[in-house]
Amino acid sequence: MNETPQHPQDPHQSQDPVQSQQGWGNSWSTHPLPPIAYERATTTTPTAPKKPRRGAFAASVVAASLLVGAGAGVGGAAVWTTQHDADRTSASAPRSTSPVVDTPAAASGDGSVEQVAQTVLPSVVKIDVAGPQGQGSGSGIILSSDGQILTNNHVVELAGDSGELEVSFNDGSHAKAKIVGTDPLTDTAVIQAEGVSGLTPATIGSSDSLQVGQSVVAIGSPFGLDATVTSGIVSALNRPVNVGTVSQGNSTVYPAIQTDAAINPGNSGGPLVDMNGHVVGINASIQTASQGATGGEPGSIGLGFAIPIDEVMPVIQQLEKGETPTHARLGISVENVAAGQGALVTDGAKISDVNAGSAAADAGLKNGDVITKVDDTLITDADSLVATVRAYRPGDRVTITYTRDGDEHTVSLTLDSDSSATNS
């Protein structure tokens, strides 16, 4: 399902399988970070892999401002050169792609930050973007020796249909790039660097094996400062993060890896890796205490969020092939359950609409039902339901636990695909 929260002031109806409707909090709001974080903040403007573990979600993100983190630059996009390294122009070299490994949780902490940096830096790039609306920069992860690179959709979207992308490699060389495919719903994109070979693909690990407290390293180009390495721990898992509506009411919501490793505008699209140097997440957003009243870009306060690699690998593989990405759907719109009196907390996602012919309709779900669990994952609110369903694939069989008129029920259903629905 394509879960998508929609806010009361948004008149559009989502075609996503699950759409949440809720108001913004009094002291904070969710929105994308700037170009370095969400290719906008620092922009200058002219005038099918294994199914991931699904544990209970941590509480929803609260307080402060949530920013999608990835465009960056000091005073805008960092300056870049158009010179290319002749050593990267050979088209005859054999092609290799990112190996995928299952990283056991016990292996975390085996390496040092220094060792991790030496291993991963050759597989991380800086991406400079220029388009009709401005310019910015972010980060990327090398997927193949001939230049396929993974990044965030919000890093490259500034280019639009007529903009330009340039990739800066760890050895100081540069190459133009073009967009292979994007998926706003998961905030992922794949680009192709032109005329390169012999690159070092990153090793893809497993976000499913992560544990709270485990050491991790973030690498990228915060504020345009390429090849920057920061370290920290996994401070929470499965944190429902909503970075805003992309189109038609569809929202970008994912069950994030939360980390205190410093992530700032420009880190977006870069890797979060375990201590074996294996990619476990894509750095994508940060929480800030304010929007920066002085007009400057917001920075890290120790709450950064990465998209779990296991959740999006099927989408990434579709993008690599030039295919239109698909997502699982329940076929419903949902909203948060009304808060009770005083300190009473009511969990769950309340169904406000059921699409005819959908998986939810066929399973007998109705308006007013409150979904409290998907398989073993507890549902705390509309965003957590959206993020949970997004972690599955079309055709997966799930068990839905819900309440109706005060009674608890369960039903099993097969998730739909949005392949036939309008999608951004």
Annotated active-site positions, please?
Answer: 154, 187, 268
Q: How far is CA 240 from CA 82, 207, 243, 362, 390, in A?
A: 40, 15, 10, 27, 11
Burial class (CB in 10 A: 0-12, 13-18, 19+), 359: buried
For residue 40, the Cα-to-chain-centroid distance in whole angstroms is 16
Tell which residue, 253, 423, 398, has the closest CA to residue 330.
Answer: 398
In degrees to the nearest 10, what's the CA dihedral of 99, 104, 109, 113? 10
From CA 336, how far away is CA 351, in angstroms rounded? 9
CA distances from 234 to 86, 93, 108, 264 (A): 40, 38, 11, 17
| Continuous segment of H or E residues that includes residue 205 | none
Q: What is the 3-state secondary structure (H, E, C) of 18-50?
A: EEEECCCCCCCCECCCCHHHHCCCCCCCCCCCC
Q: Nearest to residue 163, comparing CAs of 39, 251, 285?
A: 39
Burial class (CB in 10 A: 0-12, 13-18, 19+), 42: buried
For the chain, how many residues are written? 424
